[in-house]
A and B are shown apart, each in its own frame.
Chain A
Amino acid sequence: MYRIGIIDDEQETREILRQQISRFQDEEQAEFEVVEFRSADAFLAHAGEKCHILFLDIDLPGTTGMELAEKIRETDNDVIIIFCTNLQQFAISGYKVSALGFIVKPIQWYSFHMYLKRAVQVLREREARQQDQSSRRIQIKVGSLTRFLNVADILYVEVQLHYLLYYYRDPDTGKVEAIRTRGSMQDVADQLSPYGFARCNVSYLVNLSCITAISHMDVYLGEQVLRIGRTYKDTFLGEFSRFMAKRGL
């Protein structure tokens, strides 16, 4: 069950949001607990009760919705914020608080449904990740040793003849080490693709979440630069774009 906070000074909007949340529950088989607040201050007074999703009116009296969002973000990067606004121009600085989306009032089902669906997706993915930590670790044999690597910390994998080099960032020290083991690119690609890895080249399998920049020729992983192979370019850039489009959620 997810907890949704509605922060809006207009009774009518709160009512519409409640109705649409209820419709969403019926159509999408989701369960929500809804709490309402008339102002930013009322919400802050109940800050102990954490919400998963916030429908936040930008044009609140007193502390505005955008100011409230900035305040929330000082301590909480997880809560999903969906703004509701009377004027579409108010959305312009939403990037500052990593808002998931904006709904222009009067609230319409199409936008509401799209953003709430995305929010639920994000929450479910996060949960899956947390509950299933062990499945996000892979096991590799290095000589007689067996090592467990957290996939999120693998920057990329390089193939050299019959060997694989895992470039692994130690989560404690931040140092990158190369771990060498026997294996084929096809096998490691099959194993890691579900975790958001894609081949940019015949020799490299890249963790899309570790990419810091990309050009039409190269992939940047911090200091490290990898070339994008011509035959892999379209598929790789396609996967990267889809990944980036979702990451905003």
Chain B
Amino acid sequence: MMFTAFWEILTVDNLIYLLKGAMVSLSMAALSLLIGLIFGVLGASAKISRNRFLRILGNIYVEVIRGTPMLLQIMLIFNVVPIMITQITGNVFRMNYFLIGVVAMSINSGAYTTELIRSGINGVDKGQWEACETLGLSRWQTMRLVILPQAFKRIIPPLISEFITLIKDSSLVSIIGLVELLNSAKVLGNQYYEFMSPYCLAGVYYLAMTLTISYFAKKLERKLAVSD
């Protein structure tokens, strides 16, 4: 029977327990988005650089990360990185599950953000570069003060989608044992011998997070449209 323990599970304590899991998922996604954004700016700068070596490096990063499953990336970081660091430093190194999640998701998100930022930069009119050039601004000043602010405005909608994807993909980190939202639901399921109810509740939490973000994203977009 499905939902046999629904009313039993629906207690304030259990809802708070799931909420804590949701907060882990949300903070992991938010941190990964921010760090991924830094990787994205670096990756995009490398991909549009005049230096061939940097361009190749940027391409390898994007292709390798986008071409392999995130689950595999999480497993690799979980299994390989601590061993590598232990071998290098000689001290036993244990990474916290949350940190593994953030590192894996940031690297993954960075590859997608690289492409977003690169297309955002390419979408800015060539005349903007030329105007800066005639005013004597350096390439870096032009990028930082004129191009990136315009590029970012263009990529806010896809960046929000990326955030939503990260919230959902954070469930993949449950594979290494981190108690985020999905794993919290699983723990409740184990406790009550019924999984449908806690999984559906987790679904409601995921939806609540993603819909709220979409709502604020739309408001932000409208506010930013002032200078369009």
Question: Do the two shown chains form a genuine complex with each other?
Answer: no
Which residues does A use to contact B, with CB under 8 Å?
none
